[in-house]
Chains A and B, each alone.
Chain A
C-alpha cells in the first residue's frame, strides 16, 4: 500500500499535517478528508505521494466537514472520561450489571474461526 502525505493550506503555503495509506489517488483523497478534515479543520487540502513533488489538491473546497456542532468531537470533551467510566462501571456493578461483551459477538466468532473482517 502506498503512503501519501496529507497537506493543509496555510496562507500561501502548504503544510504537511499527516499521512494516509491508500492504493491510489482517489482513495488517498477520500481517506485524507475522512481522517483529517471532518471536523472543520480547514477548507482545503491536498495529498502527495511520498517521494513525489506532485501535489493533488481537492477540487472542491467548500463545506469540508463540521457542519453540525457536536461537543463530543472535541478532545477536551473527553477530559476525565476514565474517571466517569470507572464511576459508572462501579454503579452498574453494584446493581449486578457488568459489561461482558466488549465487542460484537458475531465479529469475535468470525475472528476465532479465521474468517475475520480484516480478511
Chain B
C-alpha cells in the first residue's frame, strides 16, 4: 500500500477507470447494434483517458510514469473496486453495472471538485464534463430496459441484483481516509458518498418499480471475492444491508467493503491483468 493517502486515493480512482474501461472496451464489435457499439467504445476510451489524467497527477507522488502506474504493477497493487474487474456478462449486467458505476463516479467527482487539493479539484471538474455523457447514456438504457419488453426488464433486474453488493463496495473506506478528510482533500467520507448514491439509486429504482432489488439485497456473503492468496488478510469484509427510512434508502450495519481498496481481487482480475499488461511486461519500455 502507498504511504501517502493522496496516492492511495488517486490510484483507487484511476484504477477504477482503467479497469472498467478495459472491460467496456471488450464490447467493441459486439454491442447490440452499431451505434451502441460506437457509444460504448467512446465511453471506454473516456474512462482510460480519465485514468491517464489521474495517473499523471500521481506521477510525482509515486515517482513512476503514468504508463508504469497503469501497466507496471502487480495485481495486488491495484486498488480498484472488485465490480470493475467482473466480466461483462450480458447487456443487462453491463448496463446495470455502467449505471451503478457511473452514478457513483459522478457523485464522488462532484465531491472532489471542492477538494482542498486544487490540482485534483481541477482534474475532477474536467473529467466530470465527460462523465455527464456516461450518466446520460446509463440512464437512457436503464429506463429503456426497465420499461422495455419483459425479457429486457428481467435481464436488467438480474444484472442489478448481481452488481449491487459489489457496487456498494465502490465506497469502501480508503486506507488513510481519515487524513484525507481532515485536510479537505476528500471533502466527504466514502460512507457519506455512499449515502448520497444510495438515495439516488433508490429513487431511480422506485420510479421504475424495481426497488425490490434493494429489498432483496443481502449482505455480501458468498460474493466476497476470494483473495488470490497474494494479498494479506484484510479486515472482515462486509457490505451493509439496505433499508427504506423516512422515504429514502439508507445503508445499515457494518461497512467493511470488499477489499478492492486494499488490493484484494478475484481471479477475474488476474485474467484481465494478464491481458492488459501483457505487452508492457513482454517488451519493457515499448512505445506506441
Do A101 and B275 form a contact, CB below 8 Å, given A34-B39, A63-B129, A68-B126? yes
Please report whether the interface of chain B is mostly helix, strand, loop or mixed according to DSSP.
helix
- Does B71 sit at the interface, judged by CB under 8 A? no
Bound CA span A73–B90, Å: 27
- Does B216 sit at the interface, judged by CB under 8 A? no
- Provide the A95-110 mask, 1 if CB < 8 A to any CB of B, else 0: 1010001011011001
Bound CA span A21–B37, Å: 13
- Does B140 sit at the interface, judged by CB under 8 A? yes
Contact B39–A97 (Cβ < 8 Å): no
- Provide the B265-288 mask, 1 if CB < 8 A to any CB of A, else 0: 000000000010011001100101
Contacts of A67 in B (CB 8 A): 126, 129-130
Tier of interface size on chain B: 35 or more
Tier of interface size on chain A: 20 to 34
Given contacts A35-B38, A38-B133, 7 further A-B contacts (CB under 8 A): A22-B35, A31-B36, A31-B39, A35-B39, A63-B129, A91-B283, A106-B88
Contacts of B32 in A (CB 8 A): 117-118
- Does B42 sit at the interface, judged by CB under 8 A? yes
Contact B282–A104 (Cβ < 8 Å): no
Bound CA span A30–B38, Å: 12
Residues of B within 8 A of A (CB): 26-27, 29-36, 38-39, 42, 45-46, 49-50, 52-53, 87-91, 126-127, 129-130, 133, 136-137, 140, 144, 275, 278-279, 282-283, 286, 288
Contact partner of A30 (CB less than 8 A), chosen from B29, B33, B126, B137, is B137
Contact partner of A117 (CB less than 8 A), chosen from B31, B34, B35, B127, is B31
Bound CA span A68–B48, Å: 11
Do A21 and B282 form a contact, CB below 8 Å, given A26-B140, A34-B42, A68-B130? no
Do A70 and B49 form a contact, CB below 8 Å, given A34-B137, A106-B88? yes
- Does A55 sit at the interface, judged by CB under 8 A? no
Contact B35–A21 (Cβ < 8 Å): yes
List the A residue with the shortest CB-CB distance to B40.
Answer: A34
Contact A68–B91 (Cβ < 8 Å): no
Contact partner of B283 (CB less than 8 A), chosen from A20, A34, A38, A88, is A88
Contacts of B129 in A (CB 8 A): 63, 67
Contact partner of A110 (CB less than 8 A), chosen from B36, B52, B90, is B90
Contact partner of B49 (CB less than 8 A), chosen from A22, A30, A34, A68, is A68
Contact A88–B286 (Cβ < 8 Å): yes
